[in-house]
Structure 1
Amino acid sequence: MTFLWWLPAAPDAVTRADAEAAARRVLASLGLTAIDLGIHPRGDTVDRMGYVGWHTWLWAESPSDRQWGPVEARATDSGISVSLSARVAEVTWEMGNGDSLACQRGTAWSESRTQGGRNVASPDCGYVYAEDGRYTVTATSEWAVDWTAAGYTGTLPLTLSRSADVMVGELQSVAVGG
């Protein structure tokens, strides 16, 4: 006598591509956003215009966890358990004239930090314009997103950007004798 046993088919093994795709979907659900731009002088009106040769301070303005991190998440996507850890690794500031610089969070400008509003350089993230004009300043946050799912691990790149228009004028003086 012969017995046949029917066993259910083994579930398909989770591939690295499946695990990474699940991690990407969990990442997309987190609602991470670009930083709000802290710029001084703001340059958004004639009264708050920046000046040629003046130190412009740049910083992440009051960043929330969703703008800076770290953000930790655990979720199940398509039956795959995913763990994520996301944080901003660096901010690249494009100054609108072809120049760029990389910074961390930066230091917010204040009168006390500049001895009453003097032309003092930012301690960690600043720029000096050499020509007057209108510039579009863009801050791009480079995120490092570490993930683990189904026995796989990796890092997902994520970039988020925000821009602001800045006016830079030129101060000129005339010495009159007499």
Structure 2
Amino acid sequence: MPERSDRREQLGDSEWTVSQARELVHELRRVVLGGPEYDGIELFLSLCEYLDDLHGTDAARGRYGFGSFSEGAELDELAAAVQAVRGPETGWDEDSNRLVQPVNAAVTLAEGRELIGLLESREEWERQLGLSLRALYAYLDQLYGGPGLFNQLLTRRERERVAAG
């Protein structure tokens, strides 16, 4: 069984850890020219930046953004902060474009979930990227309160409130 720190850093069923994936995906961004693979790369980097914001950076408190998955009381605290900022409304709000907002220029939150299956069906790094994205979505679902509930991005101000908590 992997050590606690290994499990926290492992991206689900992917062979990659969070730090390995971030480094590899940055490199892939330079050589992949387009298509769903490039969209997956951009989505992965955007979700990591989003998680950096939620985890916060505060050296005095030992927080350096997203480098591993929170567990136990730490996870409960972060999830409670996200859910408190997010509020009780988890469904579609026709006055808001949050459900269809792009995570990056090409992919919305919903399209990202579909992209995962496509990438996982491929081989080599594309499969590892799909598995890594699945792990990020599962973690964000957990922070938002359960399966499928990561259906909106918090605003910059909301993310700052979560990180300060």
TM-score range with shorter-chain normalisation? under 0.3
TM-score by length of 2: 0.24
Greater C-alpha radius of gyration: 1
Give the number of the structure with larger relative contact order, counting CA–CA contacts within 8 Å between residues 6 or more apart: 2
TM-score by length of 1: 0.23
Q: Identify the structure with the greater strand proportion.
A: 1
